[in-house]
């Protein structure tokens, strides 16, 4: 280490804040318990949201069009009508999700419900697709798209670009602009709507570029950026415009007053004015600027911190977020809510009271009265299987997919399927086999795609596959057995499919062990049942069955003896029965010792309609 490094290290380290470990640990435990509780409850919400949104989208489209027939202005050129307002809001699960509601605040619905922060949405010119910033919890944020009714997320950028701010569609819907840090600088980029051909639009003339907004005629992109590099503090942000090819960079709001920051430009539908947020030492307001002569008017009075203005497609409203109105002492950061106001400063209306930000509008082009795209698209094979994963109908592509087809879950003649696989990484590439987040998914209704519920997150799984189905509790509905065939100790885990209830969306769910479990046999209460079989390092196990099909009882036997030891062998036999409550109950567990000279036989024959055999 050089002397400079040593000096920097010495000066940076030093006295640390005191930490009350007991208090912190208790706080963490509370947060963890809350998170787990919320996650369990929320697992069931998405399917209903998707179905409801499809219906609601149709209704909103129709009603909005009917209401706004008289909004054609300008030179006889019809402006799009106002559809829903799409926005971001925090959730009790700790993530930020996308929502939509009608412009009067009614009909609020959730669009995304993933383990991610989904922010800065913008709806495509045809009103069907939302582009947004999608950040999984430990991944580089990316630009992604999702149908406005919810459904499959498509990543448009990879981990090479650290996306920092929201997308903006070109008026013809073919390109999407966004802000990202490329390792050197934060610039405005644009990519084709399918993620191909990403190009930097801004160079080194401006710094910390953010908030791109494509003009209605497609000839300019407005954005906020600092004319001063990050090395010079404090930086200031002005509103710029630039041609989509990066030429003709223009500072629109340059003033000699360096005490103001400007952000989040949005164009009027006629392209003649830009609205933006201005924050300074004395004011914080939404401001309109006429491009022809630079004349500015204040839309809001500036009593609060306001941002993210979004001009409505019909030109009559500006939606924006406002922070600090109900700020509680000590709240950090100040909560934002959505407001509406006419461009002339009248008609100010509060839309939300429980926290929301980044509003945008769904445009409804004339003649677009038709339902939005299906929320359950047909599964499509990736152009490069193995690299980008497969779309099986979940909200993300899946890699290392194994399937089991021809499953009639309810015995009604509907042919479904089951899948296992690893969730694709945020950069669009597949994780290594056996790493990443594994999912188990099922097609219950026979439409060829996985139901959204229950896929959850499962521990990494090596060579997993849906192995067999059997009615393990004699209720007429099949259960799924998943085999993990790693090394010489394969294991079986068990899943049930679920019809929609108030707590669960249709999907497939892990089957657990009822309390008190069988601790001596290492079958823990409330944990998913996982039966390890095969032989490895002195361990061998097997499964057989009794009383099938009337009252199926799994008989799990395993034997263990330390390798190269002369102690007796541990022998455990546990009987389990799957109840109608969807939990495996331990009927009894025998624990004994056996001499090494007389090891017990491990049963490996077919059982309960499943061939529980150790993998080779």
CB of 237 to another protein, least distance (A): 8
For 136, 478, 512, 554, the CA distances from 473, given in Å and listed in that order, are 38, 9, 14, 10
Q: What angle do CA 570, 576, 579 make, to 5 degrees?
A: 165
Q: Does 589 bind another protein (CB under 8 A)?
A: no
Nearer to another protein, 262 or 496 (CB): 262
Residue from the set 491, 557, 573, 574 that interacts with another protein by CB under 8 A: 491
Nearer to another protein, 92 or 579 (CB): 92
- For another protein, the binding residues in 360-419 under the rule CB under 8 A are none
Q: Which stretch binds another protein (CB under 8 A): 187-195, 444-452, 533-541, 576-584?
A: 533-541
CB of 609 to another protein, least distance (A): 25
Instruction: Kindly write out the interface string for residues 242-271 of this chain, putting x where it contacts another protein by CB under 8 A and - elsewhere.
Output: -------------------x-xx-------
SS3 569: strand
Q: What residues contact 482, with CB distance under 8 A and at least 6 apart?
A: 420, 440, 464, 465, 466, 467, 492, 493, 494, 495
Residue from the set 532, 587, 594, 615 that interacts with another protein by CB under 8 A: 532
DSSP β-ladder status, 491-498 and 479-484: antiparallel
Q: Does 28 bind another protein (CB under 8 A)?
A: yes
For residues 578 and 609, give the distance between their C-alpha atoms in angstroms, rounded to a whole number: 14
Q: Does 14 bind another protein (CB under 8 A)?
A: yes
Q: Does 298 bind another protein (CB under 8 A)?
A: no
CB of 536 to another protein, least distance (A): 5
For residues 491 and 119, give the distance between their C-alpha atoms in angstroms, rounded to a whole number: 40
CB of 351 to another protein, least distance (A): 16
Q: Which stretch binds another protein (CB under 8 A): 10-18, 187-195, 245-253, 416-424?
A: 10-18
CB of 25 to another protein, least distance (A): 6
Q: Which of 449, 577, 450 is nearest to 508 (CA)?
A: 450
Q: Does 2 bind another protein (CB under 8 A)?
A: yes
Sign of CA dihedral 529, 531, 536, 541: positive
Q: Does 573 bind another protein (CB under 8 A)?
A: no
SS3 31: helix
Give the DSSP per-residue string, 42-97: HTTHHHHHHHHHHHHHHHHHHHHHHHTGGG--SSSPPPPEEEEEEEEEE-TTS-EE
Q: What residues contact 247, with CB distance under 8 A and at least 6 apart?
A: none
Residue from the set 105, 227, 246, 280 that interacts with another protein by CB under 8 A: 280
- For another protein, the binding residues in 198-217 under the rule CB under 8 A are 210-211
Residue from the set 82, 226, 284, 420 that interacts with another protein by CB under 8 A: 284
Q: Does 568 bind another protein (CB under 8 A)?
A: no
Q: Which stretch binds another protein (CB under 8 A): 139-147, 400-408, 496-504, 546-554?
A: 139-147
Q: Which stretch binds another protein (CB under 8 A): 31-39, 49-57, 212-220, 416-424?
A: 31-39
- For another protein, the binding residues in 36-55 under the rule CB under 8 A are 36
CB 179 within 8 A of CB 165: yes
CB 480 within 8 A of CB 494: yes
Q: What angle do CA 12, 15, 18 make, to 5 degrees?
A: 130
Nearer to another protein, 247 or 330 (CB): 330
SS3 559: strand
Q: Which of 137, 134, 176 is nearest to 158 (CA)?
A: 134
CB of 429 to another protein, least distance (A): 13
Percent of the chain that is helix, strand, coil (3-state, to 5)? 10, 40, 50
Q: Does 5 bind another protein (CB under 8 A)?
A: yes
Instruction: Kindly write out the interface string for residues 52-91 of this chain, putting x where it contacts another protein by CB under 8 A and - elsewhere.
Output: ------------------------------------x---
Which residues are paired to 165 by β-bridges?
179
Number of residues that bind another protein (CB under 8 A): 99
CB of 57 to another protein, least distance (A): 25
The number of beta carbons lying within 10 Å of the beta carbon of residue 516 is 11
CB 360 within 8 A of CB 111: no
Q: Does 541 bind another protein (CB under 8 A)?
A: yes
Q: Does 591 bind another protein (CB under 8 A)?
A: no
For residues 254 and 247, give the distance between their C-alpha atoms in angstroms, rounded to a whole number: 18
- For another protein, the binding residues in 218-237 under the rule CB under 8 A are 230-231, 233-235
Q: Does 536 bind another protein (CB under 8 A)?
A: yes
Sign of CA dihedral 219, 223, 229, 234: positive
- For another protein, the binding residues in 326-355 under the rule CB under 8 A are 332-334, 336
Instruction: Kindly write out the interface string for residues 143-162 of this chain, putting x where it contacts another protein by CB under 8 A and - elsewhere.
Output: ----------------x--x
DSSP 607: B
Nearer to another protein, 321 or 479 (CB): 321
CB 47 within 8 A of CB 500: yes
Scored b (16 or more CB within 10 A) or e, 468-484 reads bbbbbbeeebbbbbbbb
Nearer to another protein, 374 or 487 (CB): 487
CB of 201 to another protein, least distance (A): 19
CB of 172 to another protein, least distance (A): 27
Q: Which stretch binds another protein (CB under 8 A): 45-53, 77-85, 321-329, 375-383?
A: 321-329
Nearer to another protein, 48 or 162 (CB): 162
Residue from the set 99, 155, 189, 458 that interacts with another protein by CB under 8 A: 458
Q: How many helices and strands, by DSSP H and E, does the chain display?
A: 3, 38
- For another protein, the binding residues in 469-488 under the rule CB under 8 A are 484, 486-488
Residue from the set 107, 302, 371, 434 that interacts with another protein by CB under 8 A: 434
DSSP β-ladder status, 250-251 and 260-267: unpaired
Q: Does 281 bind another protein (CB under 8 A)?
A: yes
Residue from the set 126, 238, 314, 321 that interacts with another protein by CB under 8 A: 321
Residue from the set 460, 500, 589, 600 that interacts with another protein by CB under 8 A: 460
For residues 574 and 366, give the distance between their C-alpha atoms in angstroms, rounded to a whole number: 67
């Amino acid at each position: 280490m050089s002397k400079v490094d040593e000096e920097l290290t010495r000066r940076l380290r030093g006295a640390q804040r005191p930490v009350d470990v007991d208090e912190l640990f208790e706080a963490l435990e509370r947060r963890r318990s809350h998170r787990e509780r919320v996650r369990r409850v929320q697992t069931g919400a998405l399917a209903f949201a998707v179905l409801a949104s499809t219906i609601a989208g149709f209704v909103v489209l129709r009603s909005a069009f009917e209401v706004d027939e008289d909004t054609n202005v300008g030179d006889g050129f019809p402006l799009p009508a106002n559809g829903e307002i799409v926005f971001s809001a925090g959730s009790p699960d700790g993530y930020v999700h996308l929502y939509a509601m009608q412009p009067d605040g009614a009909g609020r619905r959730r669009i995304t419900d993933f383990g991610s922060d989904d922010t800065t949405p913008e709806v495509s010119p045809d009103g069907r697709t939302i582009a947004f910033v999608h950040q999984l919890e430990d991944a580089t944020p990316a630009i992604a798209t999702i149908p406005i009714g919810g459904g499959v997320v498509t990543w448009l950028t990879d981990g090479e670009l650290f996306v920092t701010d929201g997308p903006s569609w070109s008026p013809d819907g073919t390109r999407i602009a966004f802000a990202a840090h490329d390792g050197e600088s934060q610039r405005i980029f644009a990519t084709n709507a399918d993620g191909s051909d990403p190009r930097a639009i801004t160079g080194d003339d401006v710094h910390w570029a953010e908030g791109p907004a494509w003009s209605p005629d497609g000839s300019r992109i407005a954005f906020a950026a600092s004319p001063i590099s990050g090395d010079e503090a404090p930086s200031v942000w002005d509103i710029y415009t630039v041609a989509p090819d990066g030429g003709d960079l223009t500072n629109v709001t340059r003033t000699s007053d360096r005490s103001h920051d400007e952000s989040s430009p949005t164009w009027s539908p006629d392209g003649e004015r830009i609205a933006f947020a201005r924050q300074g030492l004395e004011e914080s307001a939404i401001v309109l600027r006429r491009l022809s002569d630079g004349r500015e008017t204040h839309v809001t009075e500036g009593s609060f911190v306001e941002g993210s203005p979004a001009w409505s497609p019909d030109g009559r409203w500006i939606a924006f977020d406002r922070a600090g109105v109900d700020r509680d002492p000590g709240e950090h950061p100040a909560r934002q809510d959505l407001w509406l106001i006419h461009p002339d400063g009248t008609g100010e209306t509060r839309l939300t009271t429980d926290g929301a930000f980044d509003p945008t509008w769904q445009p409804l082009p004339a003649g677009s009265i038709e339902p939005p795209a299906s929320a359950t698209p047909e599964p499509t094979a990736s152009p490069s299987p193995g690299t980008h994963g497969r779309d099986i109908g979940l909200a993300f592509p899946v890699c290392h997919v194994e399937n089991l087809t021809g499953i009639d879950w309810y015995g009604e003649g509907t042919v479904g399927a089951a899948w296992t696989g690893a969730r694709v990484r945020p950069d669009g590439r597949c994780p290594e086999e056996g790493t990443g987040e594994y999912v188990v998914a099922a097609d219950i209704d026979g439409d060829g795609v996985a139901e959204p519920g229950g896929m959850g997150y499962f521990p990494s799984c090596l060579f997993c596959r849906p192995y067999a189905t059997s009615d393990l509790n004699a209720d007429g509905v099949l259960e799924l057995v998943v085999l993990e065939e790693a090394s010489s100790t394969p294991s079986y885990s068990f899943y049930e499919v679920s019809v929609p209830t108030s707590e669960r969306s249709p999907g497939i769910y892990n089957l657990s062990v009822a309390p008190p479990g069988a601790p001596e046999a290492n079958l823990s209460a409330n944990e998913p049942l996982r039966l390890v079989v095969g032989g490895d390092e002195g361990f061998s196990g097997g499964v057989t069955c009794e009383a099938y099909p009337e009252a199926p009882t799994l008989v799990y036997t395993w034997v263990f003896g330390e390798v190269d030891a002369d102690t007796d062998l541990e022998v455990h036999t546990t009987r389990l029965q799957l109840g109608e409550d969807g939990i495996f109950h331990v009927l009894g567990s025998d624990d004994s010792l056996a001499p090494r000279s007389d090891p017990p036989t491990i049963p490996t024959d077919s059982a309960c309609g499943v061939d529980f055999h150790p993998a080779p």
